Amino acid sequence: MEWGLRSGAAVAAVVALFGGYLVADAYDVVPGMLTTADPWPQASPFPSAPGAVDGPAPVSLLAGLPDDAPVPDSVEIQRLVTGLAKDKRLGSRVGVVVADGLSGDVLGSSSPDKLMTPASTQKLFTGVAALSSSIASTTLQTKAVLLDDNTVVLVGGGDMMLSAGKGDPNAVNGRAGLADLAQQVAAKVKVTGTTEVRVALDDTLFTGDDTAPTVASPDIAAGYIAPVSSVGINVGLLSDEYSDNGPRASDPGKYAAEAFSAALEDQGLTTADSVIDESAPDDARVLGEVSSAPLAEIVEFAMQYSDNTITEVLGRLVAVDAGLPGSNDGATQAVIARAKELGIDMTGARLRDCSGLGDGSYLSAQQLVNLLEVMVDPGQPKLRSEAVGMPIAGLSGTLASSHGRFTGTNAARGLARAKTGSLPRVRALAGTVVTADDRLLVFSVLADSIPADQSVGATSIYDDFVGDLAAYSTPG
């Protein structure tokens, strides 16, 4: 300590004696270019690699399918279709269409225009409606706004995939976190000196029945769908893990608001005992905001896992975007309207919900194939994410081998992408498959009068049919 004081004093004396900045600079007391310290050693030259040359220009590892790949013989494809349609294990009502993905030419069909129960293949229409609307490139915002000095209103923007904790930037379900939102809010509230707030919920984005009236009560009780809300945690599930069924909150919006209130408590704020309902004005001061995954990723999630709740939310978002009420009726009208705008003949089509879980929806195999043709059309790039986002045969989503689909040596494994559909006595499958000659086909299969004891086995029949399409090679 004594030496340090003497050294500092000596330097100060020198500075004072010369009265100039240069001396202080030389002793490194003030910033400058001069110094009395030893110079830095000269850096070694940057090493060079002998013989280094520029690498080749990057190229695509996976080329697109050739436009001149052989088109399957329609006689042979019709033979496969007829064999499927006549399989008595599928019942008396079977609709099948197989078409060339490039030209749209039908290669084989059976009862193509018969209106039938589509089950969850109907979700394809809702996904396309969302991706072809003006909200396609957006994310869903969940806000917290200030009202009446000490009331914090959680304003739902359609995100039912919130995390109760911190958001995960790599996730779709759980991208936005209520804990992150609470942290933003608490930081702004505490600056004002306020430590106690009341939490309110604005869940007014959607209207009407929170579940389609045609959905059977046992399906609701089993947790195959949650009440639709403009805000929710983990698709309304009461567990931390995602599942396509299981106990769900009876009021997902209120459940999320209560979790948000608890998150504010964790940030050091005191909240009132219960959450109240309150509509927030458009000009309310925004205290925080979190964003969902992009809509295209949400659509892919809904297709992969055949999630009924998220599909219903997507339908209502399409309705709001179209200026219709964010209700079940508004959503079904909006989805049909979008299909017509894309050039699909929807004559006779009827949608009672947006997910296909409820009773009373009708589509034809031809309408599904026409939709798939639009999805794979290079002129519709916004729809590509759904075309490639369907489950992959034997590998992902509802077509994974863990679900008993496309197992063993099925030729379509990894080469078909399709949306499944399953209801009592109903099985459906619609998607794309690549033949052995690298030709892309689109197909749909519907059966809605399957004998009760044959419903499970119907999926294997479908998988074998798609496997035959994948294995097809033009003779010679």
Closest C-alpha to 83, from 96, 99, 70, 68: 96
Q: Which domains does the chain have, with CATH numbers?
A: 74-135+299-471 (3.40.710.10), 141-293 (3.50.80.20)
Distances (CA, A) of 62 to 65, 67, 374: 9, 15, 23
Taking the C-alpha atoms of residue 137 and residue 34, their distance in angstroms, rounded to an integer, is 57
What does each of the 476 residues of the chain score in pLDDT, given as a tens digit? 433 433 444 433 433 434 443 433 433 333 444 444 455 455 555 455 455 556 566 544 445 788 889 999 999 999 999 999 999 999 999 999 999 999 999 999 999 999 999 999 999 999 999 999 999 999 999 999 999 889 999 999 999 999 999 999 999 999 999 999 999 999 999 998 889 999 999 999 999 999 999 999 999 999 999 999 999 999 999 999 999 899 999 999 999 999 999 999 999 999 988 999 999 999 999 999 999 999 999 999 999 999 999 999 999 999 999 999 999 999 999 999 999 999 999 999 999 999 999 999 999 999 999 999 999 999 999 999 999 999 999 999 999 999 999 999 999 999 999 999 999 999 999 999 999 999 999 999 999 999 988 988 999 999 999 999 999 999 87
Residues 166, 170, 172: CA angle, nearest 5 degrees: 85
Q: What global pTM score does this model have?
A: 0.86
Question: Token match 């436009």: residue?
Answer: 67
Q: How are beta strands 231-233 and 416-423 bridged, if at all?
A: unpaired
Q: Which helix (H) or strand (E) holds 287?
A: strand 285-291
Greatest CA separation for the chain:
110
Distances (CA, A) of 27 to 8, 16, 20, 42: 11, 13, 12, 22
Taking the C-alpha atoms of residue 169 and residue 82, their distance in angstroms, rounded to an integer, is 48
Contact 335, 425 (CB under 8 A): no
Phi-psi group of 236: left, alpha or beta (phi > 0 → left; psi -120 to 50 → alpha; rest → beta) = left
What is the three-class DSSP state of 444? Answer: strand
Neighbours of 372 (CB within 10 A): 31
